[in-house]
Chain A
Amino acid sequence: MTDTKVLTAQSHAPRPPDPAPPSGSAGRAFRALVARDIKLAAAQGAGGLQVVVFFAVVVTLIPFGLGPDLPLLEAIAPGVLWIALILASLLTFDRLFQADFEDGSLDGMVCGPLSLEGIVFAKACAHWLTNALPLIVATPVLALLLNMKAGVLGLLLLTLLVGTPGLTLIGALGAGLSVGVRRAGILIALLVMPLYVPVLIFAVGALEQAQRSLAAGDGVNFLEPNALFLAAASLLAGLIGVWAGAAGLRLHVGG
């Protein structure tokens, strides 16, 4: 009982101000964290490649499931590629914070100059570079399999580049809320799926608009409304992912 008395006395006394971290060290910590995560992912070797293989497997299964009719495949190709990429990347989010949480590195990072939001953003950047970027690089080859035309392919790559950062941060949100849960893969997919819907709707909307305008003989407009909404949705998703992902992580790391 004396412990509680001591604690209340301490909590009433004025705290000395926290020493400010040396200027610029947050930026240095950010770059160091991104570099560390990339090196770790590269050391694991097969990780990024597995994701690409899964992506290729899903896309290859589509003609087996829906028939090899080329016009049909061309019509559904943008949506199929987006969905396959989402499915492939959903598998990877449970590993985002798990290893660092389990061996205590996350607690160490929290003591450093980088805020938890910065840590989430840094790890998501590294995740995007090692998972989403290989998938985007693999997309043109798989788009060929689905008979996609070059103009639409360009817009597809642009929508992927704009949309996947937001999706990665929403995945970080799911991973942050469920860190410490065993076999959290499906749980993260369930939490994250409703938040993915707006980005997917706008991306595929922009691509279908491009397909229609190409068929009508006009060029592809890269700045039409769906594409702009995609950028806005991705940005908003990113902000929510950083804030809520850090809030979720704070529950598990601080306690």
Chain B
Amino acid sequence: MFAFANPHRFMAYSGPLVPWTGFLAALLFGVGLVWGLVFAPPDYQMGDTVRIMYIHVPAAWMAMAAYTFMASASLASFVWRHPLADIAARAAAPLGLGFNFLALVTGALWGQPMWGTFWVWDARLTSFLVLFFFYIGYIALWEAIEDPHKAGRAAAILAMVGFINVPIVKFSVDWWNTLHQPASLIKMGAPSIYWTILTPLLIMVAAYTMIFTFLLLLRMRTEVFTRRIHRLQSSLAAGTEEPALA
């Protein structure tokens, strides 16, 4: 982790990584979507509507994974004052929000033919909606405080406090009697999905992870460049020419 604490080294490593992750994301999406939406077998209960799972499930996982990433980066930023951690957390937040929104919408579209309703206030959906508001609050706090270092630390506290919701979302289908189906992959014992459906699902998970990494690196690099520009502008305005420290 601290190998990349130096922004220069981070920028040097991430530069060539960005086009590769983008290309990989496009490739994995192409393979996963075609396999899942066209070639994978229909479910014996749900028929062809199961195909929305290839979009809904990885999006929901990524929403949780992004928040976990945000909370870990916030911990690194708050406790160890890692220089790039608050930039990483801030970059991840809108991506997680987007995944959360996508999972909510695709879930509602799947729920209407399956359950007969777009929404139900069971434990899984409710806690996932609360995660949506945690994301919005986190982004709002970043926007509200002017000094980026103070904003980063305040947002780090908020992200760490909110992390308590992530295990609640994960285990909500086990702890409460929910309409949402229980865990079939990450649970005690082997996954209970047959490989013909599991494989395209895992490819889609890899695709979502790749696009998250691609967008994250892009956003982090943009933030580092933006801070350099601000520093150059302020040193120009002050009349001094200091070397940019990134």
Contact = CB atoms under 8 A, between A and B. Distances in A.
Interface of A: 173, 177-178, 180-181, 184, 187, 190-191, 193-195, 197, 240, 244, 247-248, 251-252, 255
A251 B153 contact: yes
Given A190-B133, A194-B162, A251-B150, A184 B157 contact: no
Given A178-B145, A187-B141, A187-B144, A248 B157 contact: yes
Contact of B158 (A177, A180, A193, A255): A177
B150 A197 contact: no
Interface in B113-160: 126, 130-131, 133-134, 136-137, 140-141, 144-145, 150, 153-154, 157-158, 160
Contacts of B49: none
A197 B141 CA distance: 19
B165 interface: yes
A191 B157 contact: no
Contacts of A180: 145
A187 B151 CA distance: 13
Contacts of B130: 194, 197
A251 B154 contact: yes
Nearest to B150: A251
Contacts of B52: none
Nearest to B162: A194
Contact of A191 (B158, B160, B165): B158
Contacts of B153: 251
**Pairs A-B, 6 closest by C-beta atoms:** A191-B137, A194-B133, A181-B144, A194-B130, A177-B154, A190-B137
6 contacts: A177-B158, A191-B141, A194-B134, A195-B161, A244-B157, A251-B153
Contact of A248 (B140, B154, B162): B154
A76 to B, nearest CB: 15
Contacts of A252: 150
A86 B140 CA distance: 21
Interface of B: 126, 130-131, 133-134, 136-137, 140-141, 144-145, 150, 153-154, 157-158, 160-162, 165
A66 to B, nearest CB: 18
Chain A interface SS verdict (over half): helix
B144 A240 contact: no
Given A173-B161, A177-B158, A244-B157, 11 more contacts: A177-B154, A178-B144, A184-B144, A190-B133, A191-B141, A191-B158, A194-B131, A194-B162, A195-B161, A244-B160, A247-B157
Contacts of A247: 157
Contacts of A244: 157-158, 160-161
A127 B133 CA distance: 26
Chain B interface SS verdict (over half): helix
Contacts, number: 50
A247 B153 CA distance: 9
Nearest to B144: A181
A157 to B, nearest CB: 26
Nearest to A173: B161
Contacts of B136: 190
Contacts of A251: 150, 153-154
A204 B130 CA distance: 17
A255 B158 CA distance: 19
Nearest to B136: A190
Contacts of A194: 130-131, 133-134, 137, 162, 165
A178 B141 contact: yes
Nearest to B168: A198
B154 A178 contact: yes
Contacts of A195: 161-162
A88 to B, nearest CB: 20
A245 B161 CA distance: 11
Nearest to B155: A177
Nearest to A170: B161
Contact of B157 (A177, A190, A193): A177
Contacts of A181: 144-145
Contacts of A177: 141, 154, 157-158
A191 B137 CA distance: 5
Nearest to B145: A181
A240 B140 CA distance: 20
A11 to B, nearest CB: 16
Contacts of A173: 161
Given A193-B133, A194-B130, A255 B157 contact: no
A190 B165 contact: no
